[in-house]
Every structure is written in C-alpha cells, then in structure tokens.
A and B are shown apart, each in its own frame.
Chain A
Amino acid sequence: MDFKESEGGHQQADFTTILVSTIHDVKNSLGLVLHTLDEVMEVCTPQECKVHDRFAKLHYEAKRVSNDLVRLLSLYKIGNQQLLCNISDYSVADFLEDCQAQNKPLLQMNGISVETECADDLLWYFDTELLAGVVNTVINNALRYTQDRLKLVAREENGFLRLSVEDDGDGYPDALLHGDADAKGGVSFQTGSTGLGLYFASVVARMHENQGRQGYITTQNGGSYGGGRFSIYIP
C-alpha cells in the first residue's frame, strides 16, 4: 500500500527553485572549502609559510562569496515571506562574542585586531540570525578598508540599540554616506557589493519594529578610529 499522497505527479520545477537550491548547494560546498582553509591556515603561519598571504586572500574571497550567497538566500526568503523577523531577547555581549568568533580566522589572517565595547548586562530584542548576517557582512567589507583594527560598539541610545562597526581606514566615499534614515534610495548596484550589503542591512533594520518605531542604518566617517563607521539602530 502506498501512503504517499498521489496527487500532481511530475512537476516541472521552475527556474527560481533550481536557482535557489543550487545556491544552497554551492553555499554548503563553500562552507567545507572554508573549513578546510581554516585548517590549512592554522599550520601555515605567516612566519613559516611563504604563501600565507595568498591563502589569506583566498579565504577572504571565498568568505565574501559565501556571505553574498547567504544574503541572496535571505533576501529571496524575505521577498517570499518565508523569512520573518523572529524577535527574541538576547544578551548583546554574547551576540558580539558570537560575531567575533565567527570572523576570528579571517581577522587573524589579515592581522586585524578587534575590540568590543558593550555593557555586560545589556539585553536587547532582535532576530539574531538576521542581525548576525548584517554584522558579518559589514565586518567583511570593513576588512577591505581598514588598516589594522576594528571596533564593535553596542549601546542603548534613545530607546534604540546602536550597533556600530568602526574601522581605521579612509572612510566611506561620499556616495555611500548616509547620515540618517535608510539606504533604500542610495543603493547603486554599480558600486559593487558594498551597495548590496548596505541594502541588505537596511532591509533587516526595517524588519525590526517596536511601538511604531522602525530600525535604520547610518554610514558615517569619524568614530573612535577616524575611519568609517557603520551603525544599525534597532528599536
């Protein structure tokens, strides 16, 4: 006896479905590539290994592709209402610790030190997966522009959680500066992945709502190190 539902029969998969499942596949393979690279990099230290910086470059680019794919999938799901904001309460310090841990190999390889500034007892309400996606992307971008350090800052400001990534590079170009509000109007896909990253960040920010207030992002120059400062505000 067949307990399976016998309706429909063969179904023609549409192109979007094929695309999405392919992205999944590629993303998972890339995950293994990154794992392996992490392991290689552990024995291939800058002192002993001549090609260390090549591996670092390889790792950085692979990570970028991986982040892009994750973001693409997320945007697809948001558009399809498959990905909703699942807001819960989290320790912000724990959250930043997770973000740092996720990016540790990459940061180490590139010789970049990270500092965090966050009160131990700061508790906030957000979707941890979505926000981690934003922070990972921003850190990855900041790596390109910073010299040797990054700072993650989290604090409460006027009823919002402000989460900033600051670097000591040359800062954002004028076209990407947004003093306030969101980057919706400012996204230009010609400017490369920074635009897509900011677009994703602003989508995630706006998905967070509380008592009639909506999240937003800003990009400024200055901050503790005088470089670029990306901030996401979560109500």
Chain B
Amino acid sequence: METIFKDKKVLVIDDFPEMRSSLRRMLDSFGVESCDDVDSGERAIEKMEEKAYDIVLCDYNLGLDRKDGQQVLEEAKHRELLPYHVIFMMITAENTMAMVMGAVEYKPDDYLTKPFTKEVLHTRLKRLLERKTHMVGLEQAIHNKEYRKAIAICDSHLASKPKNIMELLKVKGGLCIKAGDFELAVKTYEQVLGVRDLPWARMGLGKSAYYENRFEDAKKTFEGLIEQNKTNIEAYDWLAKVLVKLDQPEVAQEVLAKAVKLSPNAIRRMNQLGELAHENNDLDTAKKSYKKAIQLGKHSCLKGPEHFTGLAKVLVEQDNTDEALEVAQATRKEFKGNTDADLQASVMEGVIYTQRHEEDKAKEAIGKANKIYEENKGEVSASVTMDMAKVNFAVGDEEHGKDLVQDLVRDHHEDDKLLKEVEAVLENSSLKDEGKEIIEQTKKEIIDINNKGVYLVKEGKMEEAISFLEQAADGLPNNKTINLNAVQAMLLYMERNGKDDSYIKKSRQFLDRVAKTDPASEKYQRLAAVYQGIIAA
C-alpha cells in the first residue's frame, strides 16, 4: 500500500452517521491511521482548535438551522485554523455549487459531488496532496504577503511548462494585482486571453482597470462578462463597485440586487446592498437587506454589529423607534462581551432616544458610548464616530461632540466626502458658526505635521524625518496620509542604505493599517509594491 496517507490526520464532518462511517472506511482503506469524525460544524471548529489536521472532508449540508459547510470553512480560515498545507474538500449533493457559492470569500481546495466512489476520493486527494507539496513554497510566500517573491516562484514554475500552466497564470495575475503591479497583471491576463477567452482572465483585466481608475473600461469589461454568463456573480459585484465610482449609486444598487438574487447566501453582499439602498434612500430595500444579513449571520463568523446598526438606523428614519430599540437590545445579546457591539448599541440607543425626545435616556446612553470610545480610541469606525458626534450635540454635550469631530478630521483630513459630512453635522449643531473654522484648523494641524515630515525628508534628514513621522503615525493610526508618508520615508531610506529590520517591521505595520481601510488607494498600492521589492531583494 502507498504510504502518502499513512501519517495524515483527517477530520470528517457530516451529519449522517452512515455517511461518516462510509467515509471512514474509505479513508481506512487508503491507509489513513488517524481519523476523527463529527456531526456538526460547531463540533468541527472545536476539533480543529484542539488538533492540527492535514485533510478536512466536509459535507456542505449539515442540517437545518446549523452551520453549513461554507460557514465552517469561513470560520476556520477566519480563525486561522487552516494553515496553507491543509486540504479542505467540500462534499456537495449537486453540481450547482459554483453558482450558489459564487464569489464567496473563501473557496475550498476542491468540490466533490455525491455520489462518488472510493477511487474518486482517492484520486482527488492524492492529486491535491501532490499539488500542495508542489506549491508549498508559493503558498508560504503568499501567506507571508511576500507577493514579489511569490510572483518569482510562479515564473520559475511557468518556465518548466507544467500541466497546471493556466492555474499558475491565474495565481500570478492575482498576485500582480495584490502587489499593485497592474501593468504586469494586464500583461499576464492578456497572455492568457491570447490563447483562450477565459472569463477569469477578463475578470482580471477588469479589476486591473478598476485599480488604475479606468472606470469606463472596467465597466465595459464587467458588462461584457455578465452578458456572456448571466450567473457570473463576481462580475456583478465588481460592476456595482465601478458604478459607485462613476457616481451612479442607483444603477449600482440594481446590479447588486441581481447578484443577491442569484446568490442569496453571502452576508457581506447582502449588507452592501443594505448600505447602498440606505444611501439611495430606498429604506424598504435597506431594511429587508439588513434583516436578511442578520438572519444569514446567525451561525456565521461574518456576522457583525454593523448589520444591526444599519437596520436600527433605517428603522429610526422610518420613525419606528420601538423596533429600533429591540434591535439595539438584540445587538447586545447577540455579541456578548464584544466592545464594538456594546458601543454601537449604546450609540443606537442615543440616536433612538434623541429621536423620541427622551433626553435623559439619550444622555445616559451616549455617556456610556463616550466612555467606551475613550477606552478604545483609534479603533472606532468613522460612521459610528459620526453618529456619536450627532447625539452628543443633540443632548447638548458640545465638548464631546467637538472632540469627536476633530478626531474624524484628524483621521481623514484628505477625504473630502467625509469632511462634507462632518461639516453638515456641525451645521446642525450649536457650533454652527465655528463649524468651518474647527474643520480648517484641525486640518491645518495635520497638514503642518505632514509638511514638517516631508520637509525633513527633502532636507535629507532621513532619520529625523522617520522618527518624527513614525511618532505622528502612531498618534494618528487611522490617518492614511501620515501612515503612508512614514512608510515612504522608511522605504526611501532603505533604498539608499539597504534593508533594516525594524523599518521593515514598522512599514509592514503601517501598510497593514491602511490595507484595512483602503487597500485600493493608488499610493498604498505603489508603496506596497516598493516594499515587496525591498524585502525580496
């Protein structure tokens, strides 16, 4: 008997005992010596926390009102329970999986459609194990976010004209986009399209166009893909993104609604539809979408308090404060011990009681929120901060309101759309007359810091510039410009003087901060590419 399966630890997840034992017998005949089986996704996650597996076989359908296979995969990846060498195989009852799960964030290594024979399972697992061994260097580089290195590994594999040439080109194209090298991405995808008109290559061209701000080109590409295949969910998602950039939010909403109809189980997309509809003042659609997102999130690690906040805000706008209060309470219940949820629930209550003119209760709620905010500075989202400012002004707490507004300006001093919103908040507050000045002054404070850093760089005082910008960035962890300029100074220094471990670490940290909020920004992509070049050198 072959020995490749002998030392592999396998986890089987299926709610049917017959299926579990049948799979176990198959694995047993392959020579697997260590195999566990569980009947639910919840148990599976626990098992994966206890033990490191090499192969996970998971049935998609794990019973009504339970986590399904996709949710198990999402949570396991999310919690980093599946290192790159682990094989996750999804077993499905029908062959429409690609469509149902279209454009989900996490994909299994393989789908296996029931019914299958022992031999099929054996062939597929063996092939996957070989492929993983073959790709281990590549996956490790990707895992470490060393995209340039990963691209180089792709190229060296490609040079030997392997069987999986298209797969490698696909990976390479994706890596080019991640590394911010859109020119190389376009070249790679065009190389593929020269051989064959493959949808994923055209998707790649569309994404590259999007990141290069060629929105009309991107729009045409995604529209073409949808025309060719009406179920290309990913193309709908991207078309909606492009339409938002082209300032056509209503059309974007229509597109996203179509995607949701085709693939109704993706929480993130459902929430996006809610947000877009909310912005478009289509409150009924917004309400429905947020509710659906909450319902879908019930067993998922992707559930978030923002879905509840979104729903509560719509309800307030519809003057249904009773239900909005219920939603706020449900948030606390659903996310016990989660500070962010606690904060959002308190802010919501502040908003609701303000609407109801119950000032004492509003004061109490926002007081609680202010306290949580202070303890978690730098980690609260802009939209929550904005709501907090509004409530503070409404209950007459001018001081807190002003602090919050200034924090917003400091974090986003170059984001004109957000600054306009801040201006509107001040316009409706007791600080109406000073509103513009508060914004301008705070903006100037940040611009001065930034200018000083840039000036020091220009003067060639690199070390001084770096230490100044580094300190500024740590004080303003959400300010994109300052963080990126700090990175730029460090990268410039290393280009001249060679690698420096502490600068590499700091650059990565600052880049990651920006990646969380705006990975698509041109400057981020450019610096990330330079960073990749330096660490690969």
Residues of B within 8 A of A38 (CB): 117-118
Q: How far is the CA of A32 from the CA of B196 in the complex (A)?
A: 40
A residues contacting B by CB (< 8 A) are 1, 3-5, 24, 27-28, 30-32, 34-36, 38-39, 66, 73-74, 77, 81-84, 86-89, 91, 93-94, 97-98, 100-105, 120-121, 123, 125, 129-130, 210-211
Given contacts A94-B127, A105-B119, A120-B163, contact A39 B25 (CB under 8 A): yes
> Are A101 and B295 closer than 8 Å at their CB atoms?
no
Determine whether B323 belongs to the interface, using a CB cutoff of 8 Å to chain A.
yes
Identify which of B203-211, B286-294, B393-401 touches chain A: B286-294
Q: Is the CB of B291 within 8 A of A129?
A: no
**B229 and A84 contact, CB distance less than 8 A:** yes
Whether the pair A82, B120 counts as a contact (CB closer than 8 A) is no
22 sample A-B contacts, Cβ–Cβ < 8 Å, listed by A number: A24-B93, A24-B94, A28-B114, A28-B115, A31-B114, A31-B115, A35-B22, A38-B118, A84-B99, A86-B98, A88-B198, A89-B196, A94-B127, A98-B123, A100-B119, A101-B119, A102-B116, A102-B120, A104-B119, A125-B198, A129-B113, A210-B196
User: Per-residue 0/1 for B279-323: is the Cβ within 8 Å of any A Cβ (1 yes, 0 no)?
Assistant: 000000000100110110000000000000000000000000001
Q: Are A102 and B119 in contact (CB under 8 A)?
A: yes
- Asked if B115 and A66 make an inter-chain contact with CB atoms under 8 angstroms apart, the answer reads yes
Q: Determine whether the beta carbon of A83 is less than 8 Å from that of B122.
A: no
Please name all residues of chain A whose beta carbon is closer than 8 Å to the beta carbon of B199 when the two chains form the complex. Answer: 87
Q: Are A73 and B94 in contact (CB under 8 A)?
A: yes
The reply to whether B96 and A83 contact each other, CB–CB distance below 8 Å, is: yes
How many chain-B residues does the 8 Å CB contact rule pick out?
45
Once bound together, how far apart are the Cα atoms of A169 and B501, in whole Å? 72
- Knowing A35-B22, A105-B119, the reply to whether A1 touches B326 (Cβ < 8 A) is yes
Q: Does B327 contact A (CB under 8 A)?
A: yes
A101-B119, A129-B113 known; A89+B198 contact, CB < 8 A: yes
Confirm or deny: B95 has a beta carbon within 8 angstroms of a beta carbon on chain A: yes
B117 pairs with A123, CB closer than 8 A: no
Q: What is the CA–CA distance of A129 and B99 in the complex, to the nearest angstrom? A: 13
Query: Which of A5, A77, A105, A211 is B117 in contact with, Cβ under 8 Å?
Result: A105
- A4–B99 CA distance with the chains assembled, in angstroms: 24
Q: Please state if B115 and A1 are interface contacts (CB–CB under 8 Å).
A: no
Q: Which of B116, B117, B165, B291 has the most CB of A within 10 A?
A: B117
Across the two chains, which residue of chain A brings its CB closest to B327?
A1
Which residues of B does A touch, CB under 8 Å?
A: 18-19, 22, 25, 93-96, 98-99, 113-120, 122-124, 127, 161, 163-167, 196-200, 229-231, 288, 291-292, 294-295, 323, 326-327, 330
* Bound-state Cα–Cα, A35 to B115, Å: 8
Q: Choose from A5, A89, A130 the contact partner of B291 (Cβ within 8 Å).
A: A5
Using Cβ atoms and an 8 Å threshold, which residues of chain A touch B164?
Answer: 91
Residues of chain B within 8 A of A81, CB atoms compared: 230
Picked from A34, A84, A91, the residue with its CB within 8 Å of the CB of B115 is A34
Smallest beta-carbon distance B394→chain A, Å: 26
Q: Quick one: which of B99, B115, B127 contacts A30, CB cutoff 8 A?
A: B115
- Smallest CB separation, A83 vs chain B (Å): 6
Instruction: List chain B residues, Cβ under 8 A from A5.
Output: 288, 291-292
A5 to B94, CA, bound (A): 27
How far is it, in angstroms, between the C-alpha of A120 and the C-alpha of B163 when the chains are bound?
Answer: 8
Provide the residues of chain B in CB contact with A210, threshold 8 Å. 196-197
CB distance from A231 to the nearest CB of B (A): 22
- B115 adjacent to A123 (CB under 8 Å): no
Which residues from chain B contact A83 at a C-beta distance below 8 Å?
A: 95-96
Q: Are B120 and A101 in contact (CB under 8 A)?
A: yes
With a cutoff of 8 Å between Cβ atoms, the chain A residues found around residue B114 in the complex are: 28, 31
In chain A, what residue has the closest Cβ to B169? A89
CA distance A91 to B166 in the complex (A): 10
Are the CB atoms of B123 and A97 closer together than 8 Å? Answer: yes
Pairwise interchain contact A89-B166, C-beta atoms closer than 8 A:
yes
Known: A30-B115, A66-B115. Contact between A101 and B123, CB under 8 A? yes
Contact B231 A84 (CB under 8 A): yes
**Docked pose: A77 CA to B99 CA in angstroms:** 12
Chain B residues, CB < 8 A from A123: 163, 165-166
A130 proximity list for chain B (CB < 8 A): 95
Query: What A residues does B230 contact at CB under 8 A?
Result: 81, 84
Q: Tell whether, in the assembled complex, residue B117 and residue A104 are in contact, meaning their CB atoms are under 8 Å apart.
A: yes
- Chain A residue contacts of B163, Cβ below 8 A: 91, 93-94, 120-121, 123
Residue from A4, A32, A97, A125 within 8 A of B295 (CB atoms): A4
Chain A proximity of B231: nearest CB distance (Å): 5
Taking A38-B118, A101-B123 as known contacts, 10 extra A-B pairs with beta carbons closer than 8 A to each other, sorted by chain A number, are A1-B326, A34-B115, A38-B117, A84-B230, A94-B163, A98-B120, A101-B117, A105-B119, A125-B196, A129-B95
**Chain A residues within 8 Å of B119, by CB:** 100-102, 104-105
CB contact under 8 A between A77 and B96, given known A35-B22, A89-B196, A125-B198: yes
Complex CA–CA separation, A100 to B167 (angstroms): 23
What residues of chain A lie closer than 8 Å to B117, measured between beta carbons? Answer: 38, 101-105
Which chain A residue has the least Cβ–Cβ distance from B295? A3
Contacts of B198 in A (CB 8 A): 87-89, 125
CA distance A229 to B231 in the complex (A): 35
A33 → chain B, closest Cβ, in Å?
Answer: 9
State the CA gap A5–B264 with chains docked (Å): 13
| A74→B292 CA distance, assembly (Å) | 30
Give Cα A64–Cα B19 distance, bound, in whole angstroms: 21
Q: Which residue of A is nearest B298, CB measured? A: A3
A38 and B323 CA atoms in complex are apart in Å by 57
When distances are taken between beta carbons in the complex, the residues of chain B under 8 Å from A105 are 117-119
**A139 shortest CB reach to chain B, Å:** 12
Q: Which residues of B contact A121 (CB under 8 A)?
A: 161, 163
In the bound complex, residues from chain A placing their C-beta under 8 Å from that of B165 are 123
